[in-house]
Amino acid sequence: MIIGYTTGVYDMFHIGHLNILKRAKEQCDYLIVGVSTDELVQHDKHKTPIIPFIERCAIVQAIRYVDKVVPQLDKNKLAAWEKYKFKKMFVGSDWQGTPQWKEFERQFTPLGVEIVYLKHTDGISSTALRAKILKEY
């Protein structure tokens, strides 16, 4: 069985989120999705999600491609691997080549974990939605 893992904030769930989850599930048997807590988002992005953590988890869990939702309390991917023993970790292609993900590649290659970069859906993001809402209202 191939266990897959991906994480995200999933604030204002949109087609880009759905595309990532669908493409990830196509490449694994069991997909675990880490949803960032409100505290992690505030710490890392210095903003509060529009949709509260519990509701974001419920939305993601309702997606048919998702087998399990877990809280993402921090960005420690090795600790997540120790807990869930995934074979594939999925992330949007917009992260490919960044120092952070090059380091994850270095850490996970000896463990036999494949990092799969999934095509980013251009033209949509929660940040863009937030900006549009603020501009129009």
Q: Which CA distances in Å does 109 have to 71, 80, 82, 89, 102?
A: 24, 15, 14, 11, 11
CA atoms within 13 A on the CB side of 16: 20
Query: Which among 22, 25, 47, 102 is annotated as catalytic?
Result: 47
Which residue out of 22, 25, 45, 132 is catalytically annotated? Answer: 45
E strands in the chain: 3-8, 30-36, 68-72, 88-92, 114-118
45 labelled catalytic:
yes
47 is catalytic: yes
- Edge-first strand listing for the sheet containing 3-8: 68-72, 30-36, 3-8, 88-92, 114-118
- 57 closest CA partner among 103, 11, 2, 122: 11
Token pair in block for residue 85:
């023993």
Residues involved in catalysis = 45, 47
